[in-house]
């Protein structure tokens, strides 16, 4: 096992000078729980945030949500708020006899930059259905309708649905995530570590119980994120589940191998860079995929409109 106890440093290099550094940690785990590679401190406590939406969506599906693949992908999503994303969220709700007034995520504008610009240009106001977590919430509501559970309190940690999410997360990660925090969308977010997150993702691609959710995430990466966002672009080339979370958390897996990374500065761009660095070192992507992802792996730094440097995933010192 390769391991560094210090954080790996991504670095912004301008005209040959390191202007800033961006620490990250990462880990590679198989479905048995064996750690194969580690960088930085993958045992450092964190909140999983949206990185575990596959677990939450699995609970919704098992509790009766009965979502087809495209809708299940949206239940796993931190979506960009495109017209297609919003239409699917509304369809999920309608299938349970509900509309967007049932959502308990806060009003927001679309997360995607292009989608947000279009919403502003059209003078649209923030709405819960535009929130990037509205697909997850719609899936929760469908499960509550099917199971006869209260709708108004579905985001409470004591709600039967959320207790099942906590139980399945513990089963997959081996970590008791309580007491939960409150995610930006208002749902509970459990505590854990990169090691636990990587183990969960490894098991998602090794256990037939998760066939539906991993197939939906793999087949429809543009629905679980957005084509222009770095985690969505990585997912297009990965051929397995990829999911980012707030504050720079990212997980991906394939064939029983789970990878989790954390940008300690909270940047999803750095987290995606770190993930590409790891899979490049491990030879897990073919040359065409690496070429397509190169702008994310070594991001250009501009000066006067010209490239004068780059942001690299590993620079000198620790973990280089």
**pLDDT reported for residue 1:** 58
pLDDT tens profile 213-226: 999 999 999 999 98
Give residue 314's pLDDT band: very low, low, confident or very high (50, 70, 90): confident
Residue 132: pLDDT above 70?
A: yes
Residue 227: pLDDT above 70?
A: yes
**pLDDT reported for residue 316:** 54
pLDDT tens profile 256-277: 999 999 999 999 999 999 999 9
CB of 205 closer than 8 Å to CB of 238: no
Quote the mean pLDDT of the chain. 95
CB of 40 closer than 8 Å to CB of 7: yes
Residue 8: pLDDT above 50?
A: yes
Spatial distance between the Cα atoms of 198 and 7, rounded to a whole number of angstroms: 17
- Give residue for tokens 């106890």: 5
Give residue 181's pLDDT band: very low, low, confident or very high (50, 70, 90): very high
**pLDDT reported for residue 320:** 38
What is the average per-residue pLDDT within 149-160? 98
Residue 6: pLDDT above 80?
A: no
Per DSSP, what are the bridge partners of residue 11?
21, 312
**pLDDT reported for residue 27:** 98
Spatial distance between the Cα atoms of 53 and 223, rounded to a whole number of angstroms: 13
Spatial distance between the Cα atoms of 31 and 20, rounded to a whole number of angstroms: 36
Residue 319: pLDDT above 50?
A: no
Residue 318: pLDDT above 50?
A: no
Give residue 317's pLDDT band: very low, low, confident or very high (50, 70, 90): very low
Residue 197: pLDDT above 50?
A: yes
**pLDDT reported for residue 177:** 94
pLDDT tens profile 42-91: 999 999 999 999 999 999 999 999 999 999 999 999 999 999 999 999 99
Q: How many residues does the chain have?
A: 320
2-312 CATH: 3.40.710
Tell me the DSSP string of 228-287: TSHHHHHHHHHSS-EEEETTTEEEEEETTEEEEEEETT--HHHHHHHHHHHHHHTT-S-H
pLDDT over 70 percentage in the chain:
96
Spatial distance between the Cα atoms of 250 and 268, rounded to a whole number of angstroms: 8
Residue 169: pLDDT above 50?
A: yes
**pLDDT reported for residue 16:** 95
Is the entire prediction scored with pTM above 0.75?
yes
Helix (H) or strand (E) holding 28: strand 17-30
CB of 74 closer than 8 Å to CB of 123: no
> Domain locations in the chain?
2-312
**pLDDT reported for residue 116:** 95
Give residue 2's pLDDT band: very low, low, confident or very high (50, 70, 90): low
Spatial distance between the Cα atoms of 134 and 111, rounded to a whole number of angstroms: 11
pLDDT over 90 percentage in the chain:
94
């Amino acid at each position: 096992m390769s391991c560094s106890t210090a954080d790996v440093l991504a670095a912004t290099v301008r005209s040959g000078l390191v202007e800033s550094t961006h620490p990250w940690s990462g880990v590679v785990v198989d479905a048995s729980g064996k750690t194969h590679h580690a960088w930085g401190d993958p045992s450092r406590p964190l909140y999983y945030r949206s990185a575990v939406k596959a677990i939450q969506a699995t609970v919704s599906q098992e509790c009766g949500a009965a979502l087809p693949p495209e809708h299940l992908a949206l239940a796993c999503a931190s979506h960009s708020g495109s017209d297609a994303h919003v239409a699917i969220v509304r369809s999920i709700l309608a299938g349970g006899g509900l509309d967007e007034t049932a959502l308990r995520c806060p009003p927001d504008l679309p997360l995607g930059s292009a989608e947000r610009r279009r919403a502003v240009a059209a003078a649209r106001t923030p709405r819960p259905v535009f929130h990037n977590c509205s697909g997850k919430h719609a899936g929760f509501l469908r499960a509550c309708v099917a199971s006869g559970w209260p709708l108004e309190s579905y985001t409470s940690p004591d709600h039967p649905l959320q207790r099942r999410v906590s139980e399945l997360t513990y089963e997959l990660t081996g970590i008791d995530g309580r007491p939960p925090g409150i995610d930006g969308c208002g749902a509970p977010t459990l505590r854990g570590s990169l090691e636990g997150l990587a183990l969960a993702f490894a098991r998602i691609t090794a256990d037939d119980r998760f066939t539906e959710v991993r197939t939906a995430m793999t087949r429809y990466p543009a629905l679980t994120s957005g084509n222009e966002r770095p985690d969505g672009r990585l997912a297009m080339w990965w051929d397995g589940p990829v999911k980012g979370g707030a504050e720079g958390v990212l997980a991906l897996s394939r064939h029983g191998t789970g990878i989790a990374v954390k940008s300690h500065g909270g940047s999803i761009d750095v987290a995606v860079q770190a993930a590409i660095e790891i899979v490049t070192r491990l030879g897990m992507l073919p040359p065409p995929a690496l070429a397509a992802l190169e702008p994310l792996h070594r991001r250009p730094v501009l000066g006067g409109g010209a490239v004068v440097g780059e942001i690299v995933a590993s620079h000198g010192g620790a973990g280089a």
